[in-house]
Chain A
Amino acid sequence: MSTEGRTGVRRVPVRAHATGAASAALRPVLESPRRPARVLAAFPAGVYLEVRAELEPHVIAVVTGEAVRLPNAMVVTGPVPRAAVGDDASVGDGSIEIGRLSLRAHRWWDPAPPLGRADPPGLARALLLLTGLCAASPRRPGLEGAGAARVLAEGCADASLLRAVTAAEQLVGLGPGLTPSGDDMLAGLLVALRHLGAAAGVGRAVWLADWLAAAVTFDARDRTTPISATLLHCAARGEASGEVLAVLRGLAGRQPLEPALARLLRLGHTSGADLAWGLRVGLAAVTALAERAGGAPGADRTRKADRSGGTVAKAGAGGR
């Protein structure tokens, strides 16, 4: 439409159709009436679209199978559509339209799958292992020395809302890049608090996640890049990339931790290490809070009997 306007060439656009797999987080925006969008960034392995919508995720990553499976991603079967930054696109009525390409989801995946039960002693052991592995890795987070990071870690472990929220607000948008280090650290922390807190029955950790999430997403769109803001919104809901989810499963003892962590640490320049930092601080807070609660109520064997529908991650399962 606008292409024709700019070039003045009249031609009938031939639609090409492609399919792929999409994060279930995209379902609301995909199923809404069509909205305009534009290409925010274009790489060989993916294209980021910004949708003009209040709904989150408002940035959608259209990526190949080799790219990181972000919680706001649609993975396409073939090559990524060719597009340049600023190109028009649209999203809604079941499809993503970029240029002549129309993309539909033939599979949906859950970006926030429940983790199941994890007992606090097991998590404490996982924390030791994770700390050791992170320390041994040459991949370092981008802002490790930052004071705000230290305060955030301490605030979480003490369940000090004031200190944690203040430090978190300072970290939003901090650091260079498309996803600043501060945001990745916060994202890792948010999903760890929510999922591991729910898994261990540490209601206080989920409560902390709710508050931190509200604080960092409140003005994220103004304080950081659009893609990073969207990923913070996703993390606030417990939604994460496949690489982060694998590490969470590893921490919960559901799969080997070391290879999953190695894959995470390889991501981006410092992204993987930043996310791992957040996961470690979140895990440390969950174990500290569990200890403080003195014998968490989460170790009962009737795992699922106390669940009554709804999203487990948010309900905090047996934490009540």
Chain B
Amino acid sequence: MDAEQPGTDLVRVRTGVYHDSVSLMRVSRAAGALPGVEVAVVAMATGLNLGIAAELGFTLPDAGPGDLLVALRAADRAAADRAAAEVDGLLEALASRTAGGTGAEEPPRTVRAAARAAGGTATLALVSVPGPHAFAEAMDAVEAGLSVMVFSDNVPVEQEVLLKRRAAERGVLVMGPDCGTAVVGGAGLGFANVLRPGPVGVVAASGTGAQQVTCLLDLAGVGVSHVLGVGGRDLSAEVGGLSALRALGALDADPATELIVLVSKPPAPGVARAVRRAAEGLATPVVTAFLGRSPDDDGGDGDGGDGDGDGPGDLTSAAEAALRALGAEVPEWPAWPAAGAPRAAEPAPRRDGGRVRALHGIYSGGTLRTEAELVAGTGTFTDYGDDAYTRGRAHPMIDPSLRLEALAAVPPGDVVLLDVVLGHGADPDPAERLAPAVAAAAARGTAAVVALVGSEGDPQGLTAQAEALRAAGADVFASNARAARRAARLAGGAR
């Protein structure tokens, strides 16, 4: 290394080794946290990752996407060697774990081979390989007669349409691409919550939207039969709701489902009509939640769009509508007011009071962000789960680093609104890193409001998380809409 670059660089390329990006990010993080280590990049040598390593000043040998890159910068040679040994150990642990699952002699290399190995016992496939490769694996599932959840994003829309058409021929369902959440027979796939079994079936073009609705239902003591994600693009004009229509039909035929909730951002108008017509033809009642649907979306529809079909404006109202449709009681949604700030004593700053506090929405869920922005009616909202922020990085529900940076940058005196999503796949203890950051913000005079989306059964523990965040000085709400209203009031822009 040249003299200007302090410390020691250690760069290695391993060929014939593959691990997924989330696992490798964990290795990177663990290596980076070792004493004496300044930077650690452990990643597949894709163009993107090579670029990141080059930007960090590493001198890189020739390597391709099939190779594993280990680039370490440490205070001295000994620290670098120690880190390299640690990385080797972690990678070995990953490799021994890959065998997992059935424990067959050699694990299958494609979904096709896995379906064959399972010999008819498999009921569905969960595909989360990088987007450009997802089509092959998903198509394997469909052709093996299995429904498939495609968690991967960055899948071209033509491939999505092809998959869904083929699925229709084979009598199966394609959930996704970019489907973050599904619950099938109680099994949470992707980012999903631990929910009690019950009568509500959900068709969701929005993962976090479905999580909010189902968690509220669970808090009200009402369980779900299944949550069938369809992917954020399903209700676009290009895809035409191919999966949503199939999912509606499947839930209608499912004896455990007594009520269907359809959650989506506003669909393309033609698709909305088709979906509504399909919903009307079902024997099972349907509550439609087209988030933030503005009245003119329905204009020129020609079918009259009665009030019921337009759906409630936010996710909490959708959950409430579902409860009412089932004849269940609508509870007071749980809230945990910030410690040391009794709500009655809170002076709501007013515009005419001189100072208007800016509202910063720092979100990890796209639909939750949209909902909060609509409900609050003021402020700047960012979805750190958006593709633009997740390229080459873990999702903010898994790794909060980006959001913590954003939180630290909120000017003193402003209001910050965050979502924290619990459940399978998410950070095992989000409050561990978030609570200190919230406390620091509170110390700077920044008011923090948290929408805590989770169920009582979630591995992280809803109450424990709420208490930790509340103790750090945040107002915590189980309802994102209520959290947004609270934040807007604190900012003085309440509607």
CB–CB under 8 A between A and B in the complex? Answer: yes
**A107 closest partner in B (C-beta):** B186
Residue of B186, B284, B457 touching A110 (CB-CB under 8 A): B186
Chain A proximity of B384: nearest CB distance (Å): 26
How many residue-residue contacts, CB under 8 A, span A and B?
61
B258 near A109 with CB under 8 A, answer: no
B residues near A29, Cβ cutoff 8 Å: none
Given the interface contacts A115-B255, A116-B255, does A106 sit within 8 Å of B283 by beta carbon? no
**B423 closest partner in A (C-beta):** A106
A312 near B459 with CB under 8 A, answer: no
Give Cα distance in the complex from A104 to B464, angstroms.
Answer: 15
Chain B interface helix/strand/loop/mixed = loop
Chain A proximity of B482: nearest CB distance (Å): 25
B residues near A116, Cβ cutoff 8 Å: 254-255
Interface membership of B326, Cβ < 8 A: yes
Residue of A24, A115, A302, A304 touching B196 (CB-CB under 8 A): A24
A residues near B254, Cβ cutoff 8 Å: 116
B residues near A113, Cβ cutoff 8 Å: 197, 255-256
Interface membership of B379, Cβ < 8 A: no
B185 near A106 with CB under 8 A, answer: no
Interface membership of B131, Cβ < 8 A: no
Chain A proximity of B290: nearest CB distance (Å): 23
Given the interface contacts A19-B459, A106-B424, does A301 sit within 8 Å of B197 by beta carbon? no
Chain B proximity of A197: nearest CB distance (Å): 14
Interface membership of B328, Cβ < 8 A: yes
Interface membership of B113, Cβ < 8 A: no
Contact residues of A between 287 and 311, Cβ < 8 Å to B: 301-305, 307-309
B283 near A303 with CB under 8 A, answer: yes
Give Cα distance in the complex from A114 to B254, angstroms.
Answer: 9
**B194 closest partner in A (C-beta):** A106
Residue of A107, A110, A117 touching B187 (CB-CB under 8 A): A107
Given the interface contacts A27-B196, A104-B459, does A308 sit within 8 Å of B327 by beta carbon? yes
A residues near B257, Cβ cutoff 8 Å: 304
Residue of A21, A114, A302 touching B283 (CB-CB under 8 A): A302
B258 near A307 with CB under 8 A, answer: yes
B256 near A114 with CB under 8 A, answer: yes
Range of interface residues on A (Cβ < 8 Å)? 20 to 34
Interface size on B, residues (CB 8 A): 25
The proximity string for A residues 100-121 relative to B, scoring 1 for CB distances below 8 Å and 0 otherwise, is 0000111111100111110000
Given the interface contacts A114-B256, A301-B283, A304-B258, does A105 sit within 8 Å of B194 by beta carbon? yes
Give Cα distance in the complex from A302 to B258, angstroms.
Answer: 12
Given the interface contacts A113-B256, A304-B283, does A309 sit within 8 Å of B327 by beta carbon? yes
Given the interface contacts A114-B256, A307-B258, does A109 sit within 8 Å of B185 by beta carbon? yes
Residue of B283, B326, B424 touching A309 (CB-CB under 8 A): B326
Give Cα distance in the complex from A302 to B326, angstroms.
Answer: 17
B196 near A108 with CB under 8 A, answer: yes
Chain A proximity of B252: nearest CB distance (Å): 8
Chain A proximity of B330: nearest CB distance (Å): 14
B188 near A107 with CB under 8 A, answer: yes
Given the interface contacts A24-B196, A110-B197, does A309 sit within 8 Å of B258 by beta carbon? yes
Give Cα distance in the complex from A108 to B424, angstroms.
Answer: 13
Give Cα distance in the complex from A113 to B257, angstroms.
Answer: 10
Interface membership of B413, Cβ < 8 A: no
Chain B proximity of A264: nearest CB distance (Å): 17
Q: Which residues of B are interface residues toward A (Cβ below 8 A)? A: 185-188, 194-197, 199, 223, 252, 254-258, 283-285, 326-328, 424, 457, 459
Q: Which residues of A are interface residues toward B (Cβ below 8 A)? A: 19, 21, 24, 27, 104-110, 113-117, 254, 301-305, 307-309, 312
23 A-B pairs with C-beta separation under 8 A: A19-B459, A24-B196, A24-B197, A24-B223, A27-B196, A105-B194, A107-B186, A107-B188, A107-B194, A108-B186, A108-B194, A108-B195, A108-B223, A303-B283, A304-B257, A304-B284, A305-B283, A307-B258, A308-B327, A309-B199, A309-B327, A309-B328, A312-B258
